[in-house]
Copies of this chain bind each other. A is one copy, B any other.
Amino acid sequence: MSIRIGILGYGNLGRGVESAIRQNPDMELKAVFTRRAPETLKIRTEGVGVHHVAEVPSFKDEIDVMILCGGSATDLPVQTPEYAEMFNVINSFDTHARIPEHFAAVDAAARKGGKIGIISVGWDPGMFSLNRMIATACLPEGSNYTFWGRGVSQGHSDAVRRISGVKDARQYTVPVEASVEQVRKGENPVFETRDMHTRECFVVAEEGADLARIEEEIKTMPNYFADYDTTVHFITEEEMKRDHAGLPHGGFVIRSGVTGFEKEHRQLIEYKLTLDSNPEFTGSILVAYARAAYKLSQEGQSGCRTVFDIAPAYLSPLSGEELRAHLL
């Protein structure tokens, strides 16, 4: 019998999850839930229903794991504890500063319902966190560096789109190559924010808009751009469609440490992602952790977990014997 998955929220990430489920023969998409009018939403999996979010509770016994694909700002902090009482849940909550309180809320709800909740699953937080953590445990004396890109930051793209006179925008985060090389050489540099990444914006302006003013507003925007070297390119709608339709991303985590009685040996661990599609990759990771949530729940476990708490074997459809024989 396959693991029955529900998807709550059908944007880029929800579609990434739907697509990932099709690559895992032990999984089955059971239902998609939306806040929109269900009949307006066309999904890709035949024979699977789309339901209004108000119907979620009636699926309590038909879904093994609910994957929450909403946003971290307002959706996930409310939805995750709410549904963790009824379902095993997974989310990609990525507001780093609020993870401790979110963990506590989900943990309380999941324990109450006897369910498993796995939060902050994806690639950062997620795979990058896992690599930072394991590398730090293996090389206790050293420094961690996280570089993102080259890739589209949806949050920064949205921020540019909110500027008046902007019709559409795409923001790329770009690692500073010279800084990456310093780290790879084991120099353990200390960086300011602007040393590690630059930001590159492609903007479609409304006709007659003051381009100089838009550029100035972008470059001085606090939190998003003010601490970075930013370049702004004004392009046409056609160019936007032709050259910037995808959502590529990636980046790398480097642990640069030393070992030896005199700390004379440098040791470098690098984990690197090169992604044609950020939401599909995140969706694929969510699905692997949904398998883990199901297995943990079958064992009778409950409460909140993160990627740190889950033995890797739980992510795989293979048995312990198969894993040891073929992947160890």
Q: Measuring CB to CB, which residues of chain A are less than 8 angstroms from any residue of chain B? A: 16, 19-20, 22-24, 44, 96, 99-100, 103, 120, 125, 127, 129-134, 136-141, 184, 259-261, 264-277, 280-281, 283-285, 288, 291, 306-313, 315-317, 320-321, 323-325, 327-328
Contacts and interface: CB of A to CB of B under 8 A. Distances in A.
Contact of A323 (B127, B133, B261): B133
Given A103-B324, A138-B285, A267-B281, A261 B308 contact: no
A134 B315 contact: yes
A327 B270 contact: no
A100 B323 CA distance: 10
A277 B324 CA distance: 27
Contacts of A312: 130, 133-134, 137, 307-310, 312
Contact of A141 (B23, B270, B276, B288): B23
Contacts of A308: 311-313, 316, 320, 323-324, 327-328
Contacts of A309: 311-313, 320
15 contacts: A20-B259, A125-B328, A127-B134, A129-B328, A133-B316, A138-B285, A259-B281, A260-B277, A267-B275, A269-B273, A271-B272, A308-B313, A308-B323, A308-B324, A309-B320
Given A19-B261, A99-B324, A308-B323, A316 B276 contact: no
A285 B273 CA distance: 23
Contact of A280 (B131, B260, B280, B323): B260
Contacts of A288: 134, 137-138
Nearest to A313: B308
A136 to B, nearest CB: 7
A184 B103 CA distance: 37
A270 B272 contact: yes
Given A139-B281, A264-B276, A269-B272, 13 more contacts: A22-B261, A130-B134, A133-B327, A137-B315, A137-B316, A265-B280, A267-B273, A306-B323, A307-B328, A308-B320, A308-B324, A309-B311, A312-B312
A308 to B, nearest CB: 4
A286 B291 CA distance: 29
A204 to B, nearest CB: 25
Contacts of A325: 99-100
Nearest to A315: B137
Contacts of A284: 138-140, 259, 267
Nearest to A139: B284
A267 B280 contact: yes
Nearest to A272: B270
Contacts of A270: 270-274
Nearest to A248: B265
A50 B280 CA distance: 55
